[in-house]
């Protein structure tokens, strides 16, 4: 039996929260409550999860926890969420489960068939190495960065996302790149810093610049997918795969881009990336179809607004990115992130203990056109929600 929620810890948390509530804002109290729920939920999930599997989503109708193997793009979020929880509680309550998860992920360091190694390895091993520096973790991360860099195409100056296939309209000489790939560049910057090899950061910078030029419209909204001729680097298609339409603004795609360019500024201190991140943030926050409670519809141009489904995972990613962005620039970004968190941490979106398959966040949307993971919990929704809470706590403590 995996049990990382000991009675003494529960008693401590209850006493601590009750003692502090009079000094806390309403949002601070919500964060405390949701973090307590998160610990319970991930203990509950761990007890249901086979040792060699990773949580993917949950099917309420038959109480089924859908899982994946280590090769699925979301595999790193499970360990990453638990690492954030151990960090915020200054404990090692999840460490046995984290170690098991990392062991199952280890072989993916040599996986050259995916662009998602940042999600898979940096969101897991990256945090593990940050909290518990380990030469073995560093080697795994460097190997992962090398595998990711192997997908770089010099002609297009971009990293291949998906291999060409009929479902993504990619042909024999096509290079398919999706906006999600901006999230994997942080691994490359880490690799340059820790290896001294500037090739990794040069690839990241080139990819970000190419994405700025070809993924983005004048209003700072993003296409989901751009297809290049891999021999010439010329743009062949600007389309969607998970959004409503080619010219629509898929919410999670906008979130990935915002987060990615905030990271680009953090890593390079190049003003153009900060300006670009602000442009994306302002597009999102000023969009007439952004609801008053700040949690976006799954696509900003979904045809059935205001009855369209919300995507809580996009909201969590945006909130986390805005909190970091607020540390680099003036503006209302911190307050906007607070407003998003206020909604996301409400009972509408936060599961009750012992429900939701152990996931924290409800009402995510994975792939609407493909009719998969619709109005359901998602592992990356949990990860970025917990990250946003940790960032909010850190910013308030620094203040």
310 has pLDDT over 70? yes
Tell me the per-residue pLDDT of 375-388, one tens digit each, with 9 for 90 and over.
999 999 999 999 99
* Model confidence band, residue 212 (pLDDT cutoffs 50, 70, 90): very high
Average pLDDT in the 211-231 region?
98
What the block records as the tokens of 131 is 């909290």
Residue 397's pLDDT band, with cuts at 50, 70 and 90, is: confident
Q: What is the mean pLDDT of residues 356-380?
A: 98
Average the pLDDT over 79-93 and give the result. 97
- For the chain, domain boundaries: 60-150
Position 14 pLDDT exceeds 60: no
**pLDDT for res 12:** 52
**Could you say which of 32, 36, 86, 116 is catalytic?**
116
Mean pLDDT of all residues in 252-279: 98
For the chain, the average pLDDT equals 95
Residue 116 bears catalytic tag:
yes
| Res 396: pLDDT | 87
Query: What is the model's pLDDT at position 1?
Result: 43
Confidence of residue 327 (pLDDT cuts 50, 70, 90): very high
How confident is the model over 105-134, as a mean pLDDT? 98
Q: Decide if 219 is catalytic.
A: no
- The tokens of 102 are what? 């990392």
What confidence score (pLDDT) does residue 6 get? Answer: 53
Q: Is the pLDDT of residue 303 over 90?
A: yes
The residue from 32, 36, 174, 180 that is catalytic is: 180
């Amino acid at each position: 039996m995996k049990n990382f929620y000991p009675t003494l810890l529960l008693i401590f948390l209850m006493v601590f929260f009750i003692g502090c509530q009079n000094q806390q804002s309403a949002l601070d109290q919500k964060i405390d409550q949701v973090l307590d729920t998160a610990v319970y939920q991930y203990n509950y999930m761990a007890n249901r999860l086979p040792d060699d599997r990773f949580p993917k989503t949950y099917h309420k109708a038959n109480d089924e926890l859908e899982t994946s193997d280590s090769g699925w793009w979301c595999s790193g979020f499970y360990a990453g969420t638990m690492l954030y929880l151990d960090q915020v509680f200054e404990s090692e309550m999840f460490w046995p489960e984290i170690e098991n998860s990392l062991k199952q992920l280890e072989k993916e360091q040599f996986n050259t068939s995916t662009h998602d190694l940042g999600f898979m390895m940096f969101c897991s091993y990256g945090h593990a190495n940050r909290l518990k520096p380990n030469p073995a973790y560093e080697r795994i991360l460097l190997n992962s960065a090398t595998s990711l860099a192997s997908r770089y195409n010099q002609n297009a100056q971009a990293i291949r996302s998906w291999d060409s296939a009929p479902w993504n309209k990619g042909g024999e000489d096509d290079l398919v790149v999706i906006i999600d790939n901006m999230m994997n560049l942080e691994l490359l910057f880490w690799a340059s810093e820790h290896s001294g090899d500037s090739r990794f950061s040069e690839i990241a910078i080139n990819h970000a610049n190419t994405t700025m030029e070809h993924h983005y419209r004048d209003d700072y909204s993003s296409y989901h997918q751009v297809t290049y001729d891999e021999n010439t680097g010329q743009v062949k298609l600007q389309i969607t795969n998970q959004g409503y339409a080619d010219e629509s603004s898929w919410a999670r795609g906008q979130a990935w881009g915002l987060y990615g360019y905030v990271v680009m500024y953090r890593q390079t201190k190049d003003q153009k990336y900060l300006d670009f991140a602000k442009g994306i943030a302002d597009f999102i926050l000023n969009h007439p179809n952004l609801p008053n409670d700040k949690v976006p519809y799954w696509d900003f141009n979904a045809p059935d607004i205001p009855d369209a489904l919300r995507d809580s995972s996009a909201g969590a990613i945006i909130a986390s990115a805005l909190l970091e962005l607020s540390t680099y620039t003036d503006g209302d970004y911190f307050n906007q992130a607070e407003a998003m968190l206020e909604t996301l941490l409400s009972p509408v979106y936060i599961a009750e203990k012992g429900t939701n398959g152990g996931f924290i966040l409800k009402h995510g949307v994975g792939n609407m056109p493909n009719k998969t993971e619709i109005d359901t919990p998602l592992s990356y929704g949990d990860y970025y929600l917990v990250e946003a809470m940790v960032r909010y706590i850190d910013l308030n403590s620094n203040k």
